[in-house]
Amino acid sequence: MNTMTTTDVRQHILDTAQNIIVGRGFTAVGLSEILLSTNVPKGSFYHYFNSKEAFGEALLESYFSDYMVQLETLLNRPSVSAAQRLLAYWATWIETQSACYPEGKCLAVKLAAEVSDLSEPMRMVVQDGMEGVITRLANAVSDAVNDGSLPGGTDTRGLATMLYQPWLGASLRTKVTRDQMPLQAAFETTSLLLSQVSDR
């Protein structure tokens, strides 16, 4: 007997499809493959999502929602300074981007360029998600100022953006090089930047 609730079925579709789409992209994965992998009838899929584009929006929203929970956990670790928690976040980024498959941990990086040209609603979800990450990082920088691990007068939003953007580029380059070198270089740059800010 199937005891899955409506919410369970919807999330099952999103979770299963994410692991497929992160490997090949949004346009390369057809609806039939999603239906087959989730064992959900076509009619049921359209009960939850009006279109593949609406499904893509929901997929990205689900990804960023999960990501923000993970980010909160990393940036609220006790017994270490806020600046150390920031460095721990970037160290975790190396792990998740290097182990992208099949867990689907780097969906935003994978789809950002593709869906931004494909769908305005999906582009907006990515933009809002990334802005949410930058805002949370800016709060972490502010926490670092408050606990003295970064100096007062630091432009919290500016520093958060300056730190975040190179990691997006490094993640894309890692897909080309298929090694951790771009991410390791980004970590060294981030460490240097935070130390320079601290030395002011």
pLDDT tens digits, residue range 115-170?
999 999 999 999 999 999 999 999 999 999 999 999 888 899 999 999 999 999 99
The mean of the pLDDT values for the chain is 89
Domains of the chain, by residue range, sit at: 59-198
* Tens of pLDDT, residues 161-179: 999 999 999 988 888 888 8
Task: Provide CB contacts within 8 A for 15, sequence distance 6+.
Answer: 62
Q: What is the residue type of 30?
A: G
Q: Yes or no: is domain 59-198 CATH 1.10.357.10?
A: yes
